[in-house]
Structure 1
């Protein structure tokens, strides 16, 4: 059985990714930080999915957890770096705290978990797959999201560099950049219909399952010759 770690894996896109891997027969370890209710709901509905709490911005906490997972299962086949936060605000009004707190989770968190997992993937010499979740904001930018866009753009560049560095170890590293997806985060948008009709050629928001399908494909053997790529999934909204 293959082992996959999904950060931010108990809600939204991450939950859908965890469930799709579970359906594909993986042993899923879903990591969360703050939403106890979402974690409990997932555990109650799918008791065979392992739930672990971790602050991915804390290097030591990440190292302890990844070591525990490796000792328990003997390997880690796949990592999905999905966890991320938004702290929106106009640039000239953005505090250092808002900037730094977001980068600590979105970018440094991705760095921390990737480094901890790659150490085991490389030593085990069985190859592996890493899929990072970015955003169309990281490709095209977005007003009021300079911190978020910067973090997500950096994740795309991180992906490309890791793919080259670990290709000789048969470790594939790719990136998925969703646009507007139906989640709790977008549920409160008041202009969803206008966005769909004027900005998205397919004229609808994406579903979390559609992102999950792409992620599990990239984790499969069917994608063994794909690495260092960023896949935009946005209904045709931006030219990437």
Structure 2
């Protein structure tokens, strides 16, 4: 089989509950060449003694696992980020299969990421809002019960399987999505300006919903780093117009 080329995607487990499940995910990852494991607020803390036996030898993944407080922090350094869920909630997002996501990862100049939710509840809308698009695994409509490690395994397998035969990037003359921390900087700058201008209406209690829509507008297009810098310049220009 052709081995994968290009940076492997990171696997981000959001609020995982059991160490054995984290270990099983590490095992699934290493089977298909993924080693970048990122944990967001694991319920029982980290390290977790139960993870090692469940990893069945995938110790390198566990040893280098990183822990973050938020999903946005865990996406630092990543370009294209997919969130895995069986439903899109109220967000406007592209929905792709694991095979389609793998093809897009192979067309990236840098690393991407896959976000997986807690075992019992899945991802919240606020978690999904950080991602550019959604991955949904096609399953039997009469029994769609995949556990966390199975979901990681299916998506990792698709990335590995496609290898160098993956599709090229769709956009011409596009350098790829900006690192996530740069996009977060843009969103934070816009939010601060909106707060300063009194855009949010605290009386109506719609600030959280308005922020979610605003994040959606900036995340979905997969802006490049240059485009993000241009947008930040536009924000500064609107806040402090140049004098003639």
Specify the TM-score bucket, using the shorter chain as the normaliser.
0.3 to 0.5
The structure having more radius of gyration, on CA atoms, is 2
Structure with higher helix content: 1
| Structure having greater relative contact order (Cα 8 Å, sep ≥ 6) | 2
Structure with higher strand content: 1
